Every structure is written in C-alpha cells, then in structure tokens.
Structure 1
Amino acid sequence: MEEKILSQEEIDALLAGLAEGKIETEPEKKVDVGEVKPFDFRNYTISTRLRIPGLEVISEQLIRSLRMHISTILREAVDIHSLPLYMERFKDFLNRIPVPTSIHIFKLEPLKGQSLLVIDATLAYLFIERFLGGEGKHVRVEGREFTPIEQKLIKKVVNIIFNELEKAWRNIIPVKAKYIRGEVNPQFARVLMPEETVIVMGYNIELEAISGKILFCYSLNTLQPVKEKLYSPYQFEEYIDLAWRKSLERYVFNSEVNLSAVLGKTTITLEDLLNLEEGDVIVLDKKIDEPVEVYIEGVPKILGKLGVFKNHMAVQVQKFLTLEEENIKKEES
C-alpha cells in the first residue's frame, strides 16, 4: 500500500477544520456524577468493619451469659447473634438511633471516658410487659418518654447486662460498669465530641414474633490504654461453663491410675535367672537409704522413702520430679 504524505497546506486545513468543528471526532465520554463519591482522607477508617480479637472474645462470652438471663426474664427461649464490629464517627452513630430508644450512659472504670448502652424500644417495652405479667407479643412503640416505673423495670435488665459485661471484660482488665443516667432521645446523649471515633459492638435478639438490637458504643480513646491486650488473642482464656468444668473435674479426679514403686534394678544372665533358688540374694543398684522411684502409668513422677504404715508396705513422698528429671530417668531406664 502506497503511503501518502500530507503537504503543509493539507495539514493546516485539517487543523483549521478541527478548530472550527467541521471535522467530527469521537464524542467525549460523559461521567455519571452520581457514580462519583467524595473521599474524606481524614476519616478513611470511619464506617468500616474491623476485627479486634479481644472484643470478639468479650462478645462471645457476653452472648452465652445474656442468652440465659434474657430467656429467664422473658420466660421464652431467645436467640442472640453478634453483629459485625464496626467503627464510625459518634455523630453518625447518634443520627441512626431512632426516637424513642432506651439509652444508658455509663463508665467502664478505671478506663476514661463515657460509653453508651442502647436498647431498641421494642425490646425495652417487651421487658416492661413481661415484668408486669403481660404477653408482650405485639409491642407498640410509643413516641413518649418512659415513666419512672418503666425506667426502674428497664434498669433491672441494664444491671444484669452490666454485671455480665464486667465478667466478660475480666480476662482483659478488671472493670466496673458505673451507671450515670438514662435517656430516650439521642440528642441528649451527646457525651462525646461529634467527630470522635467510636467502636460499636452489637447483638441482635430474636424471639418468636419480635426482634431487636442491643448496642455498645465505646470511644476509641477509652479503649486506647488496653489496645495491646485487645489485639493479642493469646492472652485470653476461653470461656468455660462452670457446671461442665466441675463435671469434667469429677470424672478426672475419680479416674484410677496404676502406681508402682521400684526398689531397684539389676542385670543378670539368663542362666543365673534359671538357677535361682529360694534364699538366693539379688543385689540391686540402690542402697537402702536411697530414695525409691515411684512410677505413675509407667512414667517416673515421685521420689519417696520406703517404710511401713498400718502394717502395710508404704512409700512416703519426698519429692515430685520435674519434667527435665523425668526425661533423665527415662533415659537411664
């Protein structure tokens, strides 16, 4: 194919046509403004889900204990699920809380700052109905403040939650939940700066016909002193049911083990063994004043002194062997 080189006049004419719009070009792609979202570099961590091992351990233990207590209060089996842990600005958290809501302000002493416990109005009125003997199957959320009697009834549930919360925090740091006051309108629960970052830990409580949420709102500054412990899962003890633990201990402690005391050892030939007669003496490798080794299930565990107790041969415990000493004894044998 023959190449055609444009002359200077043709080039000038082409550029003039582009400038005057006589020559069509590819249309510019329009960007849908609705698809573009502003990005705030100052708050890039806000409103994101996160994983904090320590708070997850606290959450799991709290679910186990609250499931039992709330089922007892409501006289009905309930199911509790943890909600994703997330972080956002305090003002955004408050803006999502409807009115009315049972809001309780408290402090986790000795940690600084104030925190929030938020109970959905549906759950709050359900607790009140059940305390007063009602069924509470169709709870009507009323746009009013709780009466003094209703507040006292709700406070019973809050005290139970705080008591279990203290137990759940025990493996992180011993805390005391100090109740400050209760509110219905989130506008009166502004205990933190609007732009302050908070961590929200929540649970969804489901019954046969009603469901609601319980939320804990902690300031990031409140959790800062225990940050290392919250991010170190190996420091936490797994929650163990006390009844199950006692039952397991009972079975373990009643288990029978084979215990034997070895007076001494020696080596003889097969011929000498076959020629042994009554009255022959076998010389052992231990002296009479040396401690006797006591084996438990074939493992050397104790050194003792041979003697007699109530007309029975006995061994008096003198020392428990360490793991290193056990290994040495095994090698010698």
Structure 2
Amino acid sequence: MSTERDTSVPSDEPLTPEGMAAGWTAMPDMVEDDGEQEGGTDRLMSQDEIDTMLGFSSGDEKDGRNGIQAIVDSGSVAYERLPMLEIIFERLVRLLSTSLRNFFTDNVEVTLESIRSVRFGDYVNSISQPALLSVFKAEEWDNFGLITIESSLIYSVLDAMFGGKRGQPAPRIDGRPFTSIEIRMIRRVIELVLGDAEAAFKPLSPVRFNVDRVESNPRFVSISRPANAAIRVELKFDMEGRGGALHIVLPYATIEPIRELLLESFMGEKLGRDPTWENHLATEVWQADVDVTCVLHETRMPLKRVMKLEIGDTLMFDARPDATVSLRCGDFIVTEGRIGRVDGKIAVQVVSPLRRSKTTIAAFDSLASHLGATT
C-alpha cells in the first residue's frame, strides 16, 4: 500500500505571507522525498556541479578545462606541440634586430611577445583597421602565410624612413587609404622580414618566402578556412618611442610538410648541429688507419676433410695464376686487384674502381674539397 502526501493548501484557509514562506521552505524536502521514491532522478544540482558543467574552474584547477568549456576549446591546437617553433622565431628576432638597424640606420629593438594557436577566422575578424596585410607563399611547402602590420607600426616606419624626429610618436592620418609609395615602402620591410625568416628556417628546412600581394582589407586574405587552426606570432618593434606590432600567421596546413621536424627538441641555437664538431669528426675518420686484407681465393670443403689435413698436403684452388684477387676491409669488398712482385715483395695492382658507400661518398668529397681549400 502506498501513501501520498497531500501538499495542497486548503482552500478554506486564508493565504498569509507566513504560510507562503512555510510552503516554499518545505518544497525542497518534498522534492527530495519524491526523488527518492522515483529512484533519485529529480535531484537538484549544486552550484559546484553547475560550474563544473559550464567549465568554470576554481581553486587549484585554474589551468583545467572541463564541461562545455572543454568542448569549445577542443578544436584549438596548442603550439607547445611544436617546440622547434619557439627556437626558430627567437632566432628570427635576433636576425631582425640586426637587419632593421642596418635598414633604418637607427636603433630598433625587436621582441617576441607571444606565440599562440588561434582559429584563422577569429584572427581575421580581430584585425583592427587601418592595417596592411601581406600574403606570402612558401614555395617548398606549397602553401601560404600572412603578415599583418598594425597602423602604429606603419606610421612609425614611414616616419622613420622619411626623416621624422626621434622620440616622438608618429602622427596618425585617418580617413584616407595608403598611397602606392607608402605601400611600396612597407613592402620593403615585409621582404626584409621574410628574408630573415628564410634564414631562421634554413637550419631546419630550407624554404623561400615570396610576397604574393599586399592588401588593406582583411576579407581579401582568405588563405585558409575560417575554422582551421593557425600559429600567430606577435613581434614588437620599438624605435626610440615609435613602433608597433607585427603578426606572422602560419596555418597548420602550411607547416604540415615539416611537422615531424618541428616536433623534435634540440638544445642550443644551432638546432642540435655543430659544424665544428662535424668537421673534426670527419677529419678524424678520414685519417683513421684501417686493415686491408688481400683474399687470393675462397673455396668450400667438407669439415671431415679439413680435420684430416696434415703437414705437406696440397690444396688445389680453382683459379688461374693471373686471376684477380679481392681487397677487403672487414667484410666489405673495397676493390679487386692482380698479384705481382715489386723489389722482391708481393704487391697487388688495383684493376677496378673503389666501391664507395653511397651514404658517405658525399661527406668524403666535401671534406676533401674543404681540406684542399684550407691547405
């Protein structure tokens, strides 16, 4: 037998504020009792559970992502998965600092502000106007990248190139598009940045960056789908009170051909390669002494016959006196020769070219040319 609780308010009693408050206070208990009878499916969620579902973390879980926030962030790719990128762009900063000082004949400080993973569409929508955007093509990777120069940097570069005073911010002229002369001057700076970017990528993967076009409207730089992930590198330029930001955007599809190389981790500025050590090792290998064995002939015979050999026995070889012999270094056949005699000593005349290893012949040739040039 089941009993039901009558939670209705009698109609003949007046509805007072105290009665309403008592009714609201008793409602959570009634809901909990009903939930227990039905299997606990109507339980109210606590505030912590609501925060967890929405993805709001607190306490020690500030870096965590869960709930709806985890679903939203699942499409982004963290640049930390490509550790070589940070080393490459740090090298780019050092190269740019020298190149821009020579270009402007003035002190220019370049700093790497951040390297982030963004969606290409979100980045394009966040570009503030006016700005100049240059689309460049990576020839070896057969894809495109983007360089964005903010307005503050544009006016600072133009002011510095046309003889503006130092220590004063460049004047900003709004309400007009950039002239062809201004775009051509900014294009020279973009080509300088791309040239140093080629030098920064060269130790890892040689590539050529060519300027495809320069645009002022972000709608005309659709080099990737809006939902695709891209790497955004922010560089800060400071020219004694003048300057601004420059962004380099590389879609993940562009750097896909060298993704395996970017996943590697090397220590040092030379990306794990030390030319001095390589030259020293090649020199020592080139001057190393090896044992060369002259094999007159080889034959196979039963072990029973070998065990019965005695002093004075003669072994007949299936070879003529003028037959060639093989010169071996370990188990590797170097070349062939012919037995002879010189000044009462046995000699071998080489009759065929040396059989060089295909993997080391290039290294030996380069080392030989290097030693010849130094001597």
TM-score norm. by structure 2 comes to 0.54
CA distance in 2, matches of 1:65, 1:239: 15
1:170 aligns to what? 202
State the partner residue of 1:80: 110
Query: Is 2:169 the partner of 1:138?
Result: yes
CA distance 1:143–1:108, shift in 2 (3 Å): farther
Q: Would you say 1:16 and 2:47 are equivalent positions?
A: no
- Alignment partner, residue 102 of structure 1: 132
* Matched-pair contact (CA < 8 Å) for 1:45–1:87: no
Aligned pairs (5 A) from 1:153-164: 153-164=185-196
Residues 65 and 40 of structure 1: is their aligned pair in 2 closer, same or farther, counting only changes over 3 Å? same
Shift of 1:19: 10
Identity value in percent: 22
2:86 corresponds to? 56
Could you give the per-residue CA deviations for residues 121-144 of structure 1, whole angstroms, max 9, x where no partner exists?
111121112211222622233343
Q: 1:51 to 1:12 in 2, by over 3 A?
A: same
- Secondary structure at 1:17's aligned position in 2? coil
Q: Which residue of 2 aligns with 1:218?
A: 250
Residue 77 and residue 44 in structure 1: after superposition, are their counterparts in 2 closer, same or farther (change >3 A)? Answer: same
Residues 1:116 and 2:146 aligned together:
yes
Q: What's the CA shift for 1:24?
A: 1.2
1:198 positional shift: 1.1
Distance change (3 Å), C-alpha of 1:119 and 1:156: same
- Could you report, residue by residue, the CA deviation over 1:99-140 in whole angstroms, capped at 9, with x for unpaired residues? 111211001111022110111111112111221122262223
What SS is found at the alignment partner of 1:138? coil
CA distance in 2 between partners of 1:201 and 1:19 (Å): 67
Q: Whole-Å Cα distance in 2 between the matches of residues 18 and 174 of structure 1?
A: 81
Q: If the length of structure 1 is used for normalisation, what is the TM-score?
A: 0.60
The residue correspondences of 1:318-333 to structure 2 (distance < 5 A) are none
Quote how far apart the aligned CAs of 1:192 are: 1.6
Q: For the Cα contact (< 8 Å) 1:106–1:178, is it kept in 2?
A: yes
User: CA–CA distance in 2 between the matches of 1:82 and 1:90?
Assistant: 20
Deviations 1:17-66 (A, max 9, x none): 39998461449678699994644737514275635222112111111111
1:66 aligns with 2:96: yes
The one-letter code sitting in structure 2 at the alignment partner of 1:103 is L
Hey, what's the Cα distance between the residues in 1 that align with 2:8 and 2:86?
64
Evaluate the alpha carbon distance shift between residue 181 and residue 86 of structure 1 in structure 2; reply closer, same or farther with a 3 A threshold.
same
Q: Give 1:1-333 correspondences, 5 Å limit.
A: 12=3, 15-17=5-7, 22=23, 24-26=26-28, 36=54, 38-39=68-69, 41=71, 44-46=74-76, 48=78, 50-135=80-165, 137-141=168-172, 142-234=174-266, 238=270
* Distance (Å, rounded) in 1 between the aligned partners of 2:139 and 2:255: 12
Residue deviations 1:167-194 (CA, integer Å, cap 9, x gap) = 0010111111111000112122122211
Q: Which runs of 5+ in 2 are unaligned?
A: 11-21, 30-43, 56-67, 277-375
Cα distance in 1, alignment partners of residues 219 and 233 from structure 2: 20
CA–CA separation in structure 1 for the residues paired with 2:271 and 2:100: 19
Q: Which range moves more in the overlay, 216-225 or 126-135?
A: 126-135
| CA spacing shift, 1:19–1:203, aligned 2, 3 Å | farther
Which digits, 9 at most, give the CA deviation of each residue in 1:79-112, with x for residues without a partner?
Answer: 3221222112111010111111121100111102
2:224, 2:177 → 1: CA distance?
23
Q: Which runs of 5+ in 1 are unaligned?
A: 1-7, 247-333
**How far apart in 2 are the matches of 1:71 and 1:30?**
60
Which letter does structure 2 place at the counterpart of 1:138?
A: P
Aligned residues: 232
Instruction: Please give the alpha-carbon distance, in whole angstroms, between the structure 1 residues aligned to 2:139 and 2:201.
Output: 11
Tell me which amino acid in the other structure corresponds to 1:221.
A
Q: Contact 2:138–2:209 (CA<8 Å) still a contact in 1?
A: yes
